[in-house]
Structure 1
Amino acid sequence: MIQDAALSTAAQRLRSGAMSAEAYRTKLLDRIDAQDGEIAAFVPADDRKKRTSRSCTQLTETYTTRADRPSLFGIPVGVKDIFHVNGMETRAGSGVPPAVLAGPQAASVTAAENAGAYVLGKTVTAEFAYFEPGPTRNPHQLEHTPGGSSSGSAAAVAAGMVPLALGTQTIGSVNRPAAFCGVVGVKPSFDRISTAGVIPAAPSVDHVGYFTQDVVGAQIAGSVLCTDWRPESTPSEIQPKVGVPTGPYVEQADDIAIAAFDQQIDQLKANGYTVREIPIFEEIETINNRHKELVAAEMALVHEPWYREYGDRYAPETAELIEEGRSVGTDALAVDRASRSDVREQIHSRMDDTGVDVLVSPPAPGPAPRGIETTGDPIMNLPWTHAGVPAVTLPIEKTADGLPIGIQCTARFGDDEWLLHWCRSIEATFTEETQ
């Protein structure tokens, strides 16, 4: 059920006129009709064909000259159903009435539209971007989870139903599903993409991110979605110096993930990369606990009015988190928030001390678990999210039973352009290895 939908290729063909926006729209809608009954990546919508046809017509009429076409001209985008989109309901995977959740269109959606894209549809999310899963299945193996909470966005890109999809990450909701579904998942530096118009989970650590099938596509999307994009700032060197975390953080992964990660490191070394071990996150249990407490406390604050009125409509796991968050005191929350900068400083100082450009790690504790009753564990993404540094998941290989295995690449805060530049090199290395 995996089909090609590389953003870089589609964008070039649409802008050049080699393919019309209407032809591409029809192609992807046919894929949705053929596949989404089983995958369930998209929120059902009766008006999708009519609405998207109107969008393509408007784009063609607006950009009559090919030279004037912007970077995302004619690109259909999947949008996680916690982003507000003009003319579309936001349900957030919940039973709370959409009218209660309504708000102005997300700034990131508007940015994509201003660059020539249009919304193909809303994608399935776990309830309020937490852990209660929706019906989405992994396109590689339907009996396995796609991850979450950006389940539909990752699955839709993996299945080739859309070349670009928006998601969010509060713990691991972009990098983990990207790993499980075998796509590129980008969680930029904190606040690099505006969260305006997105239903928050925990505002201090909420990140807007996105999914593509290739790194070049991720760079194109980043130039549109991220504020103050600086492509000219990237270094001339092709290969980054790579840091490999050691200690209790990496030991949270299972034997399959660690064996795959060790093999990935060996491949990087064999291809001439400078690789250095870096002890880091020695207090990972404390980091984990502070982040989880922060999420609970802030989610309780965000949901207070809705939960008070519609508490019986929340899934048990989400309700339990909110109840837990209500008991977190202001002093404890202040400590949790302050620890974000402490963890960021630790990352920066360890990278500076060892002279590395990128840190690599497993993006999940293992391959996608069997069953869709869980979205898997985000523990391998948590410290990077807590620190707000950029993190990119790259698809690398598959297990013997066809489940994707990826690698997670991270860099200093604000170095998003650099990180994607380095990721192109790493992506190319592993692509050449598998050919």
Structure 2
Amino acid sequence: MLHQEPLAVVADDLRSGRIDLETYLDELEDRTATVEPEIESLVEEPARWDRLRSEATALAERYPDPAERPPLYGVPVGVKDIFHVDGLSTRAGSDFSPEALAGDEAASVTALREAGALVLGKTVTTEFAHMSPGPTRNPHDTSRTPGGSSSGSAAAVAAGLCPVAFGTQTIGSVIRPAAFCGIVGYKPSFGRIPTDGVIPLSESVDHVGLFTQDTAGLSLCAPLLCDSWRTLPAPAETPAIGVPDGTYLEQASDVALDAFEDHVSRLTAAGYDVNRVDALSDIGAINERHRRLVAADAAVAHEDRFRDHESKYADETHDLIAEGLDATMETVAVGRRSRGEVRASLTDLLDRHELDLWIAPAAPGPAPEGIDSTGDPVMNLPWTHAGLPTVTVPAGETDEGLPLGVQFAGRYRADEDVIRWSHGIADTLGSA
């Protein structure tokens, strides 16, 4: 039977030798053969298992002594197919050739490889991490989307094909699919994990993020990826939490809001101080400024390729870039200035009300039916716009058995606090 424990457990077992790496890969291959045809989370790679076994043999020869093995020794990681990986091609969910999209390996991928991880393979992405979806399906209900744009990464972790995977978030492409798939997602403070080697959609707001099965996995990986990581003790007290009442929260569906009220009640009963604060009353304007900024940035990133090969782009990506080509410098300036203003406003409210975290539904509801859309990222947008560190954790299910998630965001560059507080929140809401 496949060893499907979460990342921290798998890593410890592989490192110590309690699990033989070769045997683990054999079991993983069997599970992939069974599950992957149903969810289509991985980009096709004919020689995947030969490559992985060769890399595993080299890793074992390099680290014969378990005491000297790196923290992610032998751990398979999924990599969204907008990250460059040495030895693997990049297609970015598009019709472009790998030669047209080639580049140096992503710094984040190199960091986990240096920590002993093996790249399971590329995971399916929407085209250029925008909105045109691939074939991936939600492991909880294959008639539904896993979310996007990091569709394959979320589905692969949820299905037990890898205990950790990379995603990116420009609006809601980590937090939302993590919620839809019933797993943990982490979007760091803007710029805290380098985006070098990742095909950009919007350099102003692109974030590299992670999917894991539980919050302990974040504690293992985040220090390997984030710059200037500070090791902090376990929290002695629970954080004070703010609910951003008003127009922003009203964007969620009745199903999500009803569940969210139950989540708030559970946290309150567990001893958390939860306060309601008027916030993000201008969310409509924030949403529009963010959308315009992403379009303008996408036009910059794709301009030469778009002018030469316009017909190769899917409709959604085409329309975004075309809109961006008409954007003015003022549009970009307004969008970038807005990011700082929203960050300052949210931080000021935390300070004024003596709060540590914001909390909200991670999506407008559960994963919608069909795979022609990846769902609405509107609940994630302001936290991405402000560049605040955000984690989502599973928070029960709907009556139909579909996962729900709760997201919480902290102060800029206080990722360490957000992650260390995530363990208690996850434990409190895990049985919701």
Scaled to the shorter chain, the TM-score interval is: over 0.9
Write out per-residue CA displacement over residues 195-214 of structure 1, whole angstroms, 9 at most, x where no aligned residue: 00000000010000010000
Q: Report how far residue 97 of structure 1 moved.
A: 1.5
Shift of the alpha carbon at 1:430? 2.3
Q: Does the CA-based 8 Å contact 1:96-1:310 persist in structure 2?
A: no
Q: Say whether the 8 Å CA contact 2:148–2:375 is kept in structure 1.
A: yes
Letter in 2 for 1:311: E
Indicate the residue corresponding to 1:333 in structure 2: 332
CA distance in 2, matches of 1:170, 1:390: 13
Counterpart residue identity of residue 96, structure 1: F
Q: How far off is 1:392 after superposition?
A: 0.6
Q: Give the equivalent residue in structure 2 for 1:121.
A: 121
Which letter does structure 2 place at the counterpart of 1:416?
D
Contact 1:174 1:210 in 2 (8 A): yes
Instruction: Write out per-residue CA displacement over residues 50-89 of structure 1, whole angstroms, 9 at most, x where no aligned residue.
Output: 1100111111111111111111111000000000000111
CA apart distance, 1:305: 1.1
SS at match of 2:55: helix
Does residue 210 (structure 1) correspond to residue 191 (structure 2)? The answer is no
Deviation string 1:391-430 (CA, Å, 9 cap, x unpaired) is 1110111111121001001100001111011110111112
Counterpart AA for 2:264: I
SS at match of 1:231: coil
Partner of 1:134: 134
Sequence identity of aligned pairs in percent? Answer: 51
SS across alignment from 1:73: coil
Letter in 2 for 1:34: T
Given that 1:389 and 1:413 are in contact with CA atoms closer than 8 Å, whether structure 2 keeps it comes out as yes
Instruction: Report the Cα offset of residue 342 of structure 1.
Output: 0.4
Matched length = 431
- 1:145-186 CA-partner distances (Å, limit 9, x unpaired): 000000000000000010000010000000000000000000
Q: Which position in structure 1 is the counterpart of 2:296?
A: 297
Q: TM-score, normalised by structure 2?
A: 0.98
- In structure 2, the residue matched to 1:40 is 40
Partner in structure 2 of residue 91 of structure 1: 91
Equivalent position amino acid for 1:266 in 2: S
Match of 2:355 in 1: 356
Structure 2 partner of 1:111: 111
Most deviating of 152-161 and 268-277: 268-277
What are the superposed Cα offsets for residues 352-405 of structure 1, whole Å, 9 maximum, x if unpaired? 011111111001011100000000000000000000010111011111112100
Q: Gapped runs of 5+ residues in structure 2? A: none
In 2, the alpha carbon distance for the partners of 1:106 and 1:39 equals 26
Q: CA deviation at 1:235?
A: 6.0
- 2:285 is paired with a residue whose SS is helix
Q: Could you say which residue in structure 1 is the equivalent of 2:280?
A: 281
Distance 2:337 2:374 in 1: 29
Aligned-partner Cα distance in 1 for 2:360–2:25 = 37
In the alignment, which residue of structure 1 is the partner of 2:383?
Answer: 384
Give 1:249's aligned residue.
Answer: 248
Closer/same/farther in 2, CA of residues 6 and 238 from structure 1, 3 Å limit: farther
1:429 is matched with which residue? Answer: 428
Equivalent residue letter for 1:427? A
Report how far residue 238 of structure 1 moved. Answer: 3.8
Letter in 1 for 2:26: T
Amino acid at match of 1:221: C
In the alignment, structure 1 segments of 5+ residues that lack a partner are: none
**How far does residue 3 in structure 1 lie from its aligned partner after superposition?**
8.9
Q: How does 1:173-192 map to 2 (within 5 A)?
A: 173-192=173-192
Contact residue 178 and residue 393 of structure 1 kept, 8 A = yes
Cα deviation for residue 241 of structure 1 reads: 1.1
CA contact (8 A) 1:7 1:213 kept: yes
Q: Distance in 1 between matches of 2:403 and 2:209?
A: 20
Per the alignment, in what secondary structure is the counterpart of residue 121 of structure 1? strand
- What does the per-residue CA deviation read over 1:279-300, in whole Å, with 9 as the maximum and x for residues that have no partner? 1111101110000000000001
Q: 1:225-269: per-residue Cα shift (whole Å, max 9, x none)?
A: 11121123x563241111111010000000000001000000111
- The answer to whether the Cα contact below 8 Å between 2:76 and 2:164 also exists between their aligned partners in 1 is yes
Q: Which residue of 2 aligns with 1:194?
A: 194
The equivalent residue for 1:9 is 9
Counterpart code for 1:420:
I
In structure 2, the residue matched to 1:401 is: 400
Q: 1: CA distance between counterparts of 2:350 and 2:103?
A: 41
For residue 279 of structure 2, what is the amino acid of its counterpart? I
- Once residues 24 and 375 of structure 2 are traced to their aligned partners in structure 1, the CA distance between those partners, rounded to angstroms, is 33
The alpha-carbon deviation at position 4 of structure 1 amounts to 3.6
Distance in 2 between residues matched to 1:322 and 1:154, nearest whole Å: 26
Match of 2:289, SS?
Answer: helix
Partner-residue secondary structure (3-state), 1:345:
helix
In the other structure, the counterpart of 2:374 is 375
- Return the letter of the residue paired with 2:33: D
